[in-house]
Structure 1
């Protein structure tokens, strides 16, 4: 008699450093880590976790997460970074949640449009971008969505459901998905499919990402991959637009990809009207070090892992910033980074 292997046995790696799955390069050993490649595998994995009473934690590319130094031994960490698909369904672009947001900008560039340019060098995946309504300057992920597909983990059947973008309660770094036990698995975009050339070139680009770009969760590797792909497109006669050149200039000038980090640590307080980075600058906190972590000398709202930092080092510097802003400016900044 052949026993059916459980999804946990079939899909999970054991004793895996979470630091390899976060752009922060921080995190202790996880007893269970899975990277399902289909929504069916994800559902089966969740069913197993429910049956065995094991907690789970869902994340994407790990670009906005601080993992703990000592993870919960029973937790099943589930990365959706291999749930990657960019395809045309019913004349709309469908994007699976593990697809890098930056890939959308190249797809749009190939198609001759500019509505996706803002996603260039956003170092996260589409699912996480939808969850937090990621933005760059005035553009937000909600601007490019038509329909979002998700699994409600309270549904015994864990079937795939859909919700129009207009009903997702999007606001600044906010969405309905932050208030429900729903797992985003993909979305239809509201941007048009321009040509067969765009479809075929996007498929090749996606395959390149799967082959060369998707592991590890490293900011320098991420930057190198997408910069190289933009240069390759320029070599094919598709010039890099000024909007993307400006993004490259901004992110390199702020040294966004020099050290492991998760980008901005705190959300900006628009009621106060001054960016958190500027407030940290006014407080003369840039360059403050603790353990292996440092408040970036180039951007006050970034804390870098400059020398094998622990989660506790980063949390210490977050508290330094929080207390200083509260004391001087009278409010407590809200973390943008997700503390696991």
Structure 2
């Protein structure tokens, strides 16, 4: 007789340090952590959690998230960073939610289009990018989407459903997925397929990411991987466009990848009209330290894990910035980072 192994027993690792799954390098020991590689495995895991009455928490590559120092014992953490695929299906590019956004820029480079340049060095995966409508300068993820695929966690079947981009309620760092109990599992892009060579080379890049790049969430490793791939393509005659060179210059000048962080901590308040980083600069808060954390001396809207910081250290400095901006400028900045 064959015994059925539950999805939790089959897919979950036990007592895993969450710090390895966040670019902040922060987070205590999770009693359960799973990394499903297919939507079916994800659905089966969710069904098992619901059956047992166990709460779960979904995340991607952990590039915009602050895990707790002491996670709840029965909480099942589910990372989609292994749900990785970038292929042509029915004449369209289909990308799974765990695929790095930066990989899209390389795919575009291979196809001779600059429509995807803005995703270069965006440290996160496509699913999370869709969830928060990730942007760089004037370009947003919603600009490149055709259809989004998701699982409605209130649907007993947990089957994959689809929604056109026009119905996703995209706005500045907002989407319908922040308002519904839906999990993004993939998307079709509105970017044209260029050639078989583009398809084949993108497949090789994807394999490289899975074997060399799919490491614990680390900004230096992430930066090294994608910078190396761009240099390798340049060596093959595919020149790096100025827009991507500008991104490299900006990210390195602001020291984005020197220390563990999650990038911008607060959303900019466009009604006020001045970026949060500039307000922090005006308040002379850059370089302020607490515990192992520091407000970046180079970018006022970044808080770095400088010396084995705890989540409580980051939260202290977030509160300091928030209260100082409210006292001086009359509004409370909205966090961009997700607090678990």
TM range (shorter): over 0.9
Give the Å deviation of 1:8.
0.3
Once residues 105 and 214 of structure 1 are traced to their aligned partners in structure 2, the CA distance between those partners, rounded to angstroms, is: 17
Once residues 257 and 112 of structure 2 are traced to their aligned partners in structure 1, the CA distance between those partners, rounded to angstroms, is: 28
Look up the match of 1:30: 30
Q: Does 1:188 align with 2:167?
A: no
Deviation per CA, 1:141-188: give whole Å up to 9, x if none: 000000000000000000000000010000000000000000000000
Once residues 2 and 133 of structure 1 are traced to their aligned partners in structure 2, the CA distance between those partners, rounded to angstroms, is: 45
Q: Does 1:97 align with 2:100?
A: no
Q: Does 1:142 align with 2:131?
A: no
Query: Matches of residues 235-254 of structure 1 in structure 2 within 5 Å?
Result: 235-254=235-254
Give the Å deviation of 1:213.
0.3
Deviation per CA, 1:105-156: give whole Å up to 9, x if none: 0000000000000000000000000000000000000000000000000000
Query: Matches of residues 49-128 of structure 1 in structure 2 within 5 Å?
Result: 49-128=49-128
Look up the match of 1:200: 200
Look up the match of 1:229: 229
Once residues 215 and 231 of structure 1 are traced to their aligned partners in structure 2, the CA distance between those partners, rounded to angstroms, is: 20
Once residues 72 and 242 of structure 2 are traced to their aligned partners in structure 1, the CA distance between those partners, rounded to angstroms, is: 46
Look up the match of 2:314: 314
Give the Å deviation of 1:272.
0.1
Give the Å deviation of 1:216.
1.1
Look up the match of 1:296: 296
Q: Secondary structure at the match of 1:83?
A: coil
Once residues 308 and 16 of structure 2 are traced to their aligned partners in structure 1, the CA distance between those partners, rounded to angstroms, is: 17
Once residues 52 and 283 of structure 1 are traced to their aligned partners in structure 2, the CA distance between those partners, rounded to angstroms, is: 50
Look up the match of 1:216: 216
Q: Does 1:334 align with 2:331?
A: no
Aligned length: 340
Look up the match of 1:132: 132
Give the Å deviation of 1:3.
1.6
Look up the match of 2:6: 6
Look up the match of 1:276: 276
Look up the match of 1:305: 305
CA RMSD of aligned residues (A): 0.3
Deviation per CA, 1:271-327: give whole Å up to 9, x if none: 000000000000000000000000000000000000000000000000000000000
Once residues 72 and 196 of structure 2 are traced to their aligned partners in structure 1, the CA distance between those partners, rounded to angstroms, is: 47
Once residues 52 and 2 of structure 1 are traced to their aligned partners in structure 2, the CA distance between those partners, rounded to angstroms, is: 22
Once residues 110 and 236 of structure 2 are traced to their aligned partners in structure 1, the CA distance between those partners, rounded to angstroms, is: 10
Look up the match of 1:255: 255
Once residues 128 and 214 of structure 1 are traced to their aligned partners in structure 2, the CA distance between those partners, rounded to angstroms, is: 16
Q: TM-score, normalised by structure 2?
A: 1.00
Give the Å deviation of 1:70.
0.3
Give the Å deviation of 1:2.
2.5
Once residues 76 and 241 of structure 1 are traced to their aligned partners in structure 2, the CA distance between those partners, rounded to angstroms, is: 42
Structure 2: unaligned runs, 5 residues or longer: none
Give the Å deviation of 1:45.
0.2
Deviation per CA, 1:41-69: give whole Å up to 9, x if none: 00000000000000000000000000000
Once residues 30 and 3 of structure 2 are traced to their aligned partners in structure 1, the CA distance between those partners, rounded to angstroms, is: 26
